[in-house]
Amino acid sequence: MKILVSDHGLCIEAAITLARAGHKVGYSISSTDKHSHHDIVQMGSGFEKEGVEKVDFYTALSYADYVVCMDTYSGGEVDWLRAKGHKVWGAGQAAERLELDRWYAYSKMHDAGLPSADAEHVVGVPTLIEKLQKPGYKKRWIKCSGTRELETFFHEDWLATQETYIAPLLYEYGTDPKLEFMIVTPIDPAQEVGSDSLVINGIRPAIQPYGYEDKDTSYIGRFNSKVLPDCLAKINKVIDKELTNAISFVSTEARVTPDKKGYPIDLTIRAAHPPLAAMLECIVNISDIITRGSKGYIENILPNANYAAVLCGSSGWAEEHRMEIRFPERYRRYVKLAKAWKNGDIYYTIPSKNFPVQVVGLGETPRAAANDCMKHAKEVKGKELSFDWSSFDRMIDETIPEGKKHGIEF
């Protein structure tokens, strides 16, 4: 089959996975994210030996059997393609709103009777700043709707927020009087867990992966269970009613309190990172799921391991410079790059604040998957590239046992 992947740079590895399954894959980059023109030209190029050709979207569209849009801000494109009769993997604008319009999603889940954190809807940057200066607004999460530049930060008190977040806020948004925010009271004590699955027109597969993430550091997902923890199943039952026209990866997160109540937090109506890296290696039939899903058919997930673990590499150098990534070729499929390009046999990442590389491991237990992941990650090199090796110990020795007390079997 001929597949056109339309991306913003984060899902090049999904395109390569589709090519490994025998498909002819074209890869197109749009300029939704903040890149210079040369970055757009360079990202996704050089992967021809891995089966992925950089293409012009509209030229390639004429011969594509399927179009795959895995990232947010593709809703209008997805809706337009479906209206033209194309077979598309993508969420669409109505479904994307659940991620991008946070007050809308909060209201939907609150009105459906799900446990809800105390939250306030605020319109306008000046209004937000005025409220955050008041003593009664200490220790709150601040969430912005519609954008990613400064999407979430924790407001400890006005002095700390003023020094750390107000300048970036004004730089990114100016004094926009229409920008929408949520001021959210933290749910503590609680254990955070996420459902990392997919939806085909409101229907989910029998096996629904779920897992724990140490934010931007590591992830361990369970891929062998037909029963979701109740706290996540209740959230999915509510949001799936809003996803009857969506064909997409979907992640839902919850803060689960000691009384086993799951308070929904941010929704991800796209391929989430790092769970996508785990899915690409742990789900044997991921290519069939995407192609058949694009036609509206749901395939059951076939895992090749009980658990998948991911380590996210970080590099201060990579935030401002192109960085070469080196690793043994035998580990190629376990190394997942973002915003990448290839020159001959050498891999590079484009400057970005996103983690430039993720490394995957598989195993029959969380510890076995973590050990496999660390074995691979120790062979991945880049300038100032580092991994938090202790994050798996924290997750396995502390997070998972604590989650079990909260009713989360893992």
| Overall average pLDDT of the 288-306 stretch | 97
Q: What is the pLDDT of residue 389?
A: 96
What dihedral do alpha carbons 396, 399, 405, 410 form, nearest 10°?
A: -50
The domain 2-98 is classified under which CATH number: 1.10.3720.10, 3.10.330.20, 3.40.1390.10, 3.40.50.720? 3.40.50.720
Per-residue pLDDT at 33 exceeds 60:
no
Which residue did the predictor score with more confidence, 151 or 67? 67
Query: For the chain, what percent of residues have pLDDT higher than 70?
Result: 99
Read off the pLDDT of residues 240-268 as tens digits, 9 standing for 90 and up.
Answer: 999 999 999 999 999 999 999 999 998 99
Shared fold status for 2-98 and 191-405:
no
d(Cα 46, Cα 40) in Å, to the nearest integer? 13
Sequence spans of domains, the chain? 2-98, 118-184, 191-405
Q: What is the pLDDT of residue 35?
A: 52
What dihedral do alpha carbons 333, 337, 341, 343 form, nearest 10°?
A: -50
Read off the pLDDT of residues 301-335 as tens digits, 9 standing for 90 and up.
Answer: 999 999 999 999 999 999 999 999 999 999 999 99
Q: What is the pLDDT of residue 353?
A: 77
| Overall average pLDDT of the 159-172 stretch | 92
d(Cα 311, Cα 361) in Å, to the nearest integer? 9
Per-residue pLDDT at 130 exceeds 70:
yes
Which residue did the predictor score with more confidence, 37 or 290? 290
Per-residue pLDDT at 136 exceeds 90:
no
Q: What is the pLDDT of residue 313?
A: 98
369 touches 309 (CB < 8 A) = yes
Provide the β-strand partners of residue 381. 326
| Overall average pLDDT of the 364-373 stretch | 98
Read off the pLDDT of residues 187-198 as tens digits, 9 standing for 90 and up.
Answer: 999 999 999 999
> CATH for 191-405?
3.30.470.20
Q: What is the pLDDT of residue 36?
A: 63
Provide the β-strand partners of residue 213. 219
| Overall average pLDDT of the 170-192 stretch | 95
| Across 27-31, 105-109, 328-332, least confident range | 27-31
Distances in Å between the alpha carbon of 307 and those of 24, 249, 379?
30, 18, 21
Q: Classify the phi-psi angles of 230: left when phi > 0, otherwise alpha if psi is within -120 to 50, otherwise beta.
A: alpha
Identify the band that residue 293 occupies on the pLDDT scale cut at 50, 70 and 90. very high
Which residue is associated with the tokens 């569209």?
A: 61
Identify the band that residue 34 occupies on the pLDDT scale cut at 50, 70 and 90. low
Per-residue pLDDT at 96 exceeds 90:
yes
Distances in Å between the alpha carbon of 68 and those of 174, 274, 323, 391?
34, 19, 27, 33
Identify the band that residue 38 occupies on the pLDDT scale cut at 50, 70 and 90. confident
| Overall average pLDDT of the 126-149 stretch | 91
State the angle between helix axes of 75-83 and 93-100 in degrees (0 to 180), rounded to the nearest 10: 170
- For the sheet with 88-89, list strands across it: 52-54, 24-29, 2-7, 66-69, 88-89
Identify the band that residue 91 occupies on the pLDDT scale cut at 50, 70 and 90. very high
**65 Cβ neighbours under 8 A, 6+ residues apart:** 1, 2, 3, 87
d(Cα 254, Cα 267) in Å, to the nearest integer? 9
Across all residues in the chain, what is the average pLDDT? 95
Q: What is the pLDDT of residue 251?
A: 97
